[in-house]
Amino acid sequence: MNDDRIVAQTVGRALSTRLAITSMGEKTFYVTTPIFYVNAKPHIGHAYPTLVADTLTRFYRQRGVDSYFLTGTDEHGINIERAAAARGVALTKHVDEIVDEFKTAFAPLGIEYDQWIRTTDPGHEAAVAKLWRILDERGHIYKSRYEGWYCPNCNEFKEVDEKTSDLVCPTHERPLERLAEESYFFRLSAFQEPLLDHYAKHPEFVQPDVRRNEVISFVAGGLKDLSISRVSVKWGIPVPGDPKHTIYVWFDALSNYITALGWGTDEHQKFARYWPALHLVGKDILRMHAVYWPAFLMGAGIELPRTVYAHGMLLRGGQKMGKSLGNAIDLGVLKRHFAPDLIRYFLLREVAFGQDGEMTYEALIDRSNSDLADGLGNLASRTLTMVRNYFDGHPPRLRNEEQSETEDVSSRIEEAKRRFDEEFVALNFSRGLEAAWAGIARVDKFITDNQPWKLAKDPARRAQLESVLATAYEALRHLVLLVAPALPATSREIWNQMELAGDPLTIDPNKAVWGEPIEVSKIDRISPAFPKLDKGKIMAEIENENAAPVSEGVEAEDGGGKQAGNESAGLQAGMPALPEVPALPGPPATQIITIDDFAKVELRAATVLEAEKVPKADKLLRLIVDLGEPQPRQILAGIAQHYAPEEIIGRKIIVVANLAPRKLRGLESNGMLLAASVGEDGKPVLATFTEDVPNGARLK
């Protein structure tokens, strides 16, 4: 297909101005997650948008909408190059291994994507080059020179004031890198007005509103042209016609949303069928999705995504979970102790989508016990147990002459269904589930009020008993269908225990009619769908695991959890043992550290102002050193046998400045000086500079 036809095909499709983020009236539904960097182990923060996308896809599919769910991995760029180098592994081997690890980590959560795109897929690479050529031909790209600062972890060029900034990335708290090289630029500045116009005409384009306002004010503040190539990065897609340049990793990555559907190739049927998308993204990467991406698409004449929805961050101890802080909840620990549906339910119910939310193991256990074990699980097991005990396992069916109370239950269930759908379409998952649980509570109350266990003792009240259990069973049938997209495994489990025919995930709850004839067999196999969790026991197990030695191949994001072992005792009762996440092979930790590990060590230049021997300590010198800080520091150094105090006063030295303070002989040492250990007796030789360096200068 030639470029003109692609443009005509995509531009020709009318843009709509719907307020609903996703709409039931549509024939197709296309949802994407961000594609994940393969520079670290997957954690729950990555699984979060992916399981939301999975739930939404199941929701639309259950309602008959032709749906497509894309996820994948972002495999090019300097941070990946460095991660592979740090492991001493070839790049292709490194990316393949981490991709496998992501896939293996997501599978136990019941995540079933339609496609896993990799930016190293040859088809993707060719289509990205095509998008570049279209933009170039249309005059949106020019060559110039970039000079400035770059964060290799954000893969972002940073605007900083060199006089006042500490030249550290505020997100990653790691040093920025100076770049000065020839670069291609995208004329982003030319898209300021068209973007503002699009935001105004399509309020649903960036959501939630608070994020939309942020984006509008960012763009209204003025846009600078964007550097979209790097000569110093080799691991990426070469710029067409100028292969010494590599395409900027965000240009490459964002394109995945259309290249995955075959855009730019002869196989573009999926693009025609599913585009435009709903992009689910973390609020930290909103600007790339809501400003750069639509500008690239506008430039190429391609229809814009329907919505970019920015969700909040999962927090631990009030801070974003992730690699930078090393505080992320490990998927291995979750997998060992909690059923996948519980993790899904927790994230959808406890965290309001769009807002930040704290995640703790304790809260997970509490939610499980209150909403799942006592709520849905209890309703299912008591209803089914009574059907088995009082009706020999054959659920009674509703008759026409049911009383008003039954009618009230059915209308509450219909109300729950209506609200659930309304909230899910607006991506308010928590409120949608709340509506379903209001339905569960209504049925529970109905059972408790009618006391079927008493009715069962009186043969004269058999008809009433039938009516009560028929109502409870029918309500349960509708509720299980309703919650199935969020709880796929347990909904199927309860459905099977109810001995109903078919798969609840393929039956539209809105087409299920109250009291309709159904195909059902004899109930006899009942087991709790959500066993009660013992908080004390699970927390103790998790703490023990965290105390055990860690063996991780790739950078561990959670300082804790050991790799999954086969500890079936720690698994939830009734849950199948899950496959293990393989530990990636890597060099021993003593030989190789990552660049991020190194960046944690703050090495600074200093001058020794004072030096004296510490009384009664043969080896120690007490130094007062100037690190360029308001106050000089005291440092104790074990060099007294090799350096006389007067010999080192005035010397320029290198100090580890962020070492935790330590007391030696009652004196506090606030840092450590660097020295090489030479010869058989390990004589220390102080590290220094051969050129003049100001005190406080950082070594990187």
- Residues annotated as part of the active site: 43, 46, 151, 154, 169, 172, 320, 323
d(CA 617, CA 635): 15
Q: Which stretch binds ligand MSP (CB under 6 A): 41-49, 87-95, 123-131, 610-618?
A: 41-49
Which of residues 284 and 612 has its CB atom nearest to ligand MSP in the complex? 284
Closest distance to ligand MSP from the beta carbon of 126 (Å):
18
Chain residues 262-281 in contact with ligand MSP, contact rule CB under 6 A? 281
The beta strands (E) that lie in 559-671 are given as 603-613, 621-626, 633-637, 652-656, 662-664, 667-669
Beta bridge partners of 69: 31
CA distance 42 to 104: 10
Residue selected from 322, 509, 560, 671 as contacting ligand MSP according to rule CB under 6 A: 322
- Considering beta carbons, is residue 313 or 365 the nearer one to ligand MSP? 313
Cα atoms in the Cβ-side hemisphere of radius 13 Å centred on 231: 14
Nearer to ligand MSP, 314 or 655 (CB): 314
Site for ligand MSP in 43-72 (CB under 6 A): 45-46, 48-49
CB of 239 to ligand MSP, least distance (A): 19
Q: Which of 31, 35, 105, 470 binds ligand MSP (CB under 6 A)?
A: 35
Q: Residue 603: helix, strand or coil by DSSP? A: strand
Instruction: Give the residues across from 556 on adjacent strands.
Output: none
Measured distance CA(492)–CA(504) in Å, rounded: 6
* Contacts (CB under 6 A) with ligand MSP, residues 488-517: none
344 near ligand MSP, rule: CB under 6 A: no
Min CB(107)–ligand MSP separation in Å: 18
Complex with ligand MSP: residue 135 or 281, whichever CB lies closer:
281
Which helix (H) or strand (E) segment holds residue 155: the answer is: none
* Least CB distance to ligand MSP at residue 148 (A): 21
Per CB under 6 A, 314 contacts ligand MSP: yes
Distance between CA atoms of residues 105 and 43, nearest Å: 8
Check binding of 37 to ligand MSP (CB under 6 A).
yes
Q: Minimum CB separation from ligand MSP for residue 166, in Å?
A: 23
Minimum distance, C-beta of residue 545 to ligand MSP, in the bound complex (Å): 21
Closest approach, Cβ 576 to ligand MSP, in A, equals 28
Figure out which of the listed residues 321, 334, 581, 606 binds ligand MSP, where binding follows CB under 6 A: 321
Residue 171: CB minimum distance to ligand MSP, A: 10
Secondary structure of 489-554 as H, E, C letters = HHHHHHHHHCCECCCHHHCCHHHCCCCCCCCECCCCCCCCCCCCCCHHHHHHHHHHHHHCCCCCCC
Cβ distance to ligand MSP smaller for residue 48 or 420: 48
Instruction: For ligand MSP, give the closer residue by CB, 98 or 482.
Output: 98
Which of 260, 313, 347, 469 forms a contact with ligand MSP (CB under 6 A)?
313
Residue 383 in contact with residue 476, Cβ under 8 Å? yes
Give every CB contact of residue 385 below 8 A, 6+ residues apart in sequence: 526
Helix, strand or coil, per DSSP, at residue 184: strand
Stretch that binds ligand MSP, among 252-260, 447-455, 519-527, 548-556 (CB under 6 A): 252-260
Q: Which of 320, 417, 442, 642 binds ligand MSP (CB under 6 A)?
A: 320
The DSSP result for 355-409, as a single string, is S-EE--HHHHHHHIIIIIIIIIIHHHHHHHHHHHHHHTT------TT--HHHHHH
Does position 251 interact with ligand MSP (CB under 6 A)? The reply is no
Helices 340-350, 44-62: inter-axial angle, 10-degree rounding:
90
Tell me the two tokens of residue 166: 């500490």
253 lies in the site for ligand MSP, by CB under 6 A: yes
Q: Which SS3 state, helix, strand or coil, does residue 598 take?
A: helix
Which among 267, 268, 307 has a CA at the least distance from the CA of 10? 268
Interface residues for ligand MSP in 90-109 (CB under 6 A)?
Answer: none
8 A C-beta contact, residue 644 and residue 612: no
Q: Closest approach of Cβ 255 to ligand MSP, in Å?
A: 8
Q: Say if residues 440 and 494 touch (Cβ distance below 8 Å).
A: no
Cα 312 to Cα 306: distance, rounded to the nearest angstrom: 20
Residue 102 vs 338, nearer CB to ligand MSP: 102
Q: Does 419 bind ligand MSP (CB under 6 A)?
A: no
Q: Is residue 635 close enough to count as binding ligand MSP by CB under 6 A?
A: no
Please identify, using beta-carbon distances, which residue of 327 and 450 lies nearer to ligand MSP.
327
Determine if 237 is a binding residue for ligand MSP (CB under 6 A): no
Of 303 and 493, CB closest to ligand MSP: 303
DSSP element (H, E) containing 59: helix 44-62
36 binds ligand MSP (CB under 6 A): yes
| β-sheet with 242-247: strand ranges across | 229-230, 242-247, 238-239
Residue 255 or residue 369: which is nearer to ligand MSP going by CB?
255
Please count the residues of this chain forming the interface with ligand MSP, following the rule CB under 6 A: 21
In the complex, what is the shortest distance from the CB of residue 50 to ligand MSP, in angstroms, rounded to a whole number?
9
Our CB check for ligand MSP shows the closer of 581 and 648 to be: 581
Instruction: Give the C-alpha separation, 671 to 601, whole Å.
Output: 11
Tell which residue, 690, 691, 621, 699, has the closest CA to residue 658.
699
Which CB atom, from 281 or from 470, has the smaller least distance to ligand MSP? 281
158: phi then psi, degrees, rounded to nearest 5:
-115, 135
Asked if 282 touches ligand MSP (CB under 6 A), the answer is yes
Type of residue numbered 356: D
5-34 residues near ligand MSP, rule: CB under 6 A: 34
Closest separation in Å from C-beta 284 to ligand MSP? 5
Residue facing ligand MSP at closest CB distance: 282
Does the footprint of ligand MSP cover residue 284 (CB under 6 A)? yes
Q: Minimum CB separation from ligand MSP for residue 367, in Å?
A: 18
Separation of alpha carbons 569 and 88, rounded Å: 37
420 C-beta neighbours (distance < 10 Å), count: 28
Burial class (CB in 10 A: 0-12, 13-18, 19+), 128: buried
Choose between 154 and 653: whose C-beta lies nearer to ligand MSP: 154
343 touches ligand MSP (CB under 6 A): no
Please report how close the Cβ of residue 327 comes to ligand MSP at its closest, in angstroms.
9
By the rule CB under 6 A, 254 interacts with ligand MSP: yes
Residue 287 makes CB contacts below 8 A (sequence gap 6+) with 215, 218
Ramachandran quadrant class, 39 (left: phi over 0; alpha: psi -120 to 50; beta: rest): alpha
Binding positions for ligand MSP, rule: CB under 6 A = 34-37, 45-46, 48-49, 74, 253-254, 256, 281-282, 284-285, 313-314, 320-322
